A and B are shown apart, each in its own frame.
Chain A
Amino acid sequence: MSTTVQSTTATPRKILVLGATSGIAEATCRIWASQGASLFLIARNGEKLAAVAADLKTRGASFIDTAVADLDDTDKHPELLAHAINSLTGMDIAYLAHGILGDQTEAERDFNTAAQIIHTNYMAPVSLLTWLANFCAQRHSGTLAVISSVAGDRGRKSNYLYGSSKAGLSAFLGGLRNRVDREGVTVLTIKPGPTKTAMTANMPKSEKFADPESVAESIVSAIDKRKDILYVPFQWQPIMFIIRNIPERIFKKLNL
């Protein structure tokens, strides 16, 4: 099985973050920054990206570089990734956190909307991960941590476009893990449930919403432990087990 040892504490870890302005990604990067990591951040909006980068620099990141890019543009991926890894002078972790929920109702009427969701949530990650996995496999090291969703575990009427794109992504990650594990590369599938944002901190809210900070802590720890699949918060694992096992003839009548 895995033979390579990953440097964790001695030299700062080199981390590539795709979709760095997402709430969960930002919370995760704050932990890494306070540990002194080197970070390369990619996001679409330059102004937001600059705010995130300044925050992480202030919190102690030992190196920060950024690139503004639309990850839907798969043609540009090889060049973008090569540039990022060059800037970081290597890569220990690639963290994919970009994605869209999309408009389910619109997607039911219009295939272009559906295709857009699938492109952003499935096609673009497949393109990125193909390049990244080959890069890591060649070096026999590295972790690919990818945010999928509990919504990918079973399609339901309220968001099956989003769900199916994430289901595809989860299946892809499973296969990729099976392929590159023997090369010393770790693939982590992250399945978050609904997550609270900081702005709702002082408002009463149903128990099933998690804090981005605690979600981020679980992600950092799952990466450190080289886990394969992370349900976060962990309660989603038994819940999704039950949901996956409801017989279809009953499931189709449920309002979920």
Chain B
Amino acid sequence: MPDAIETEEAKQVQAPFESWGRYPTYGAKLLPLHWQSDFPAVTAGLHNGALPVGMGRSYGDVCLLKDGNLLVTTAMNRLIAFDPETGLLTAEAGVNLAQILDFAVPRGFFLPVTPGTKYVTLGGAIANDIHGKNHHVAGTFGRHITQFELVRSDGSRMLCTPTENPEFFAATIGGLGLTGLISWATLRLKPIVSRKIDYEGIQFHGIDEFLELTNQAKDIEYTVSWVDVTSTGRNFARGVFMQGDHSSRKDDLIKSAKPKLIFPFEAPGFALNSLSVSLFNTAFFHKQIHKRVVALQDYEPFFYPLDKVLHWNRMYGKRGLLQFQYVIPWEHAKEGTIAILQAVAKSGLASFLAVLKAFGDVPSPGMMSFPKPGITLALDFPIKPDKSFPLFQRLADMTLELGGRLYPAKDAAMTAPQFQAFYPQWQHFAQYRDPMLTSSFWERVTSNS
């Protein structure tokens, strides 16, 4: 008989799986994976395709599969081994970055790359080959993965490293969950002596000043900027440039602040309109009253300012939100960004959060990775059915003309021709797909009808 105490949870009806943008919403069957051996056993005899998913922190439909089977990996979260000499941590793919930090920081280690939320899984971070504020020096998350196991729906298990099964290694990093289930992976953590970040915030006016600050900050590990997309005229493209390094002052490594605020309900649709967004952005700009602010800050507010408010995505109401994130190469970086910001301002659709950052030239190991050298901008938009999508189409076309591309993890809008132009290697990539695995994103961007 099973070892486990089985409670009523076994019998409960599953709630729908939502991506972070809460758009689109699709019905799917949830199949929890508790153990590495659960896949492919749980899909035996099932039709309709399957997709591994993590915390659902992607905004659009890369982690959704309409009417299919979602392999929920978050209970597969065991650690397998850690070597304090090398910082190599091996863990099951469903472990999330918050759990890794809880383990690693007190031992004097940190994530080599982290996104703006710690609630993403190791598997999800690899499958989207995520980037962080240190892309210009560290490259993407996948660069710090030394090996992983890939389980295919036929039951075969493959060890993937840069030299063993190298094609599957490259296809799976940034492979959007389509090449197989990553059951475990080894990540190289980096040593730290303090939980704190030496932080500096600097106000800027316009893209020229942003580029100059970027240039001056080449040797600083973390840089990112917030831009006010609501202001025009003299204040156009004003913002705050934020930079930081791990503090080198030996400091206490132990402390854990749990998120306290939970956004408890859905805001009515009118809460986020152009006026409130513009007020927010003005307030944010002036929150920093001085041109320069220097501080010694805990890593949590520095990297994860929004995690304090769990489920802040509900603030956007029932219809949800979408990010629009592009990268455009250096040769068009400046005029391209200005043109796109102007197009956004003209559309009258307000973006609550706009984040600007320079990507470096450290290459991604992934075949389908999003980052490349240039400037990236991420914009949050609440979904307004008739207005948002025409704007997204316009911005996507502009991005294409500027030689850039869009980030699948933040997308629910690009068309098949746009995707195929952004990622011309997609057909080569498709050879490494697992025949059972697919996503709503993949169906959308590869159907040419």
Chain A positions within 8 Å of B, measured between CB atoms, are 19-25, 43-45, 47-48, 51-52, 54-55, 58-59, 70, 72, 97-101, 116, 120, 147, 149, 192-205, 209
Option from B74, B79, B92 in Cβ contact (under 8 Å) with A199? B74
Contacts of B32 in A (CB 8 A): 197, 199-200
Instruction: Tell me whether A100 and B75 are in contact (CB under 8 A).
Output: no
Query: Considering the complex of A and B, which 9 residue pairs feature the smallest CB-CB distances, nearest first?
Result: A55-B78, A101-B6, A199-B75, A22-B4, A199-B32, A58-B79, A198-B75, A43-B3, A194-B8
Option from B33, B35, B56, B74 in Cβ contact (under 8 Å) with A48? B35
Chain A contact residues, majority secondary structure: loop
Give, as a whole number of angstroms, the nearest-CB distance from B27 to chain A: 14
Interface-side segment among B9-17, B201-209, B411-419: B9-17
With A22-B4, A51-B36 known to touch, is A202 a contact of B56 (CB < 8 Å)? Answer: yes
- Bound: A98/B2 CA distance, A: 8
* Size of B's binding interface in residues, CB under 8 A: 39
Give, as a whole number of angstroms, the nearest-CB distance from A118 to chain B: 12
Instruction: Tell me whether B34 and A120 are in contact (CB under 8 A).
Output: no
Contacts of A194 in B (CB 8 A): 7-9
Give, as a whole number of angstroms, the nearest-CB distance from A245 to chain B: 22
Option from B4, B16, B18 in Cβ contact (under 8 Å) with A23? B4
Chain B contact residues, majority secondary structure: loop
Considering the complex, give the chain A residue whose CB is closest to the CB of B79. A58
Instruction: Tell me whether B79 and A54 are in contact (CB under 8 A).
Output: yes
Considering the complex, give the chain B residue whose CB is closest to the CB of A208. B8
With A19-B5, A198-B75, A202-B55 known to touch, is A101 a contact of B15 (CB < 8 Å)? Answer: no
Give, as a whole number of angstroms, the nearest-CB distance from B182 to chain A: 16
Instruction: Tell me whether A54 and B3 are in contact (CB under 8 A).
Output: no
Contacts of A97 in B (CB 8 A): 3, 5
With A59-B79, A194-B8 known to touch, is A203 a contact of B1 (CB < 8 Å)? Answer: no
Considering the complex, give the chain B residue whose CB is closest to the CB of A33. B79
Instruction: Tell me whether A45 and B36 are in contact (CB under 8 A).
Output: no
Considering the complex, give the chain B residue whose CB is closest to the CB of A47. B37
Interface residues of B in 23-37 (CB under 8 A from A): 30, 32-37
Instruction: Tell me whether A19 and B78 are in contact (CB under 8 A).
Output: no
Instruction: Tell me whether A198 and B74 are in contact (CB under 8 A).
Output: yes
Option from B6, B15, B55, B74 in Cβ contact (under 8 Å) with A204? B15
16 contacts between A and B (CB under 8 A): A19-B4, A22-B3, A22-B4, A44-B3, A47-B37, A48-B3, A51-B78, A54-B81, A99-B5, A194-B7, A195-B9, A198-B94, A199-B94, A202-B17, A202-B55, A203-B15
Give, as a whole number of angstroms, the nearest-CB distance from B119 to chain A: 8
Contacts of B33 in A (CB 8 A): 199
Asked whether any CB of chain A lies closer than 8 Å to the CB of B82, the reply is: yes
Contacts of A51 in B (CB 8 A): 35-36, 78, 80, 92
- Bound: A43/B78 CA distance, A: 17
- Bound: A116/B1 CA distance, A: 9
Considering the complex, give the chain B residue whose CB is closest to the CB of A197. B75
Considering the complex, give the chain A residue whose CB is closest to the CB of B96. A201
With A54-B79, A201-B74 known to touch, is A147 a contact of B5 (CB < 8 Å)? Answer: yes
Asked whether any CB of chain A lies closer than 8 Å to the CB of B77, the reply is: yes
Considering the complex, give the chain B residue whose CB is closest to the CB of A99. B5
- Bound: A149/B94 CA distance, A: 29
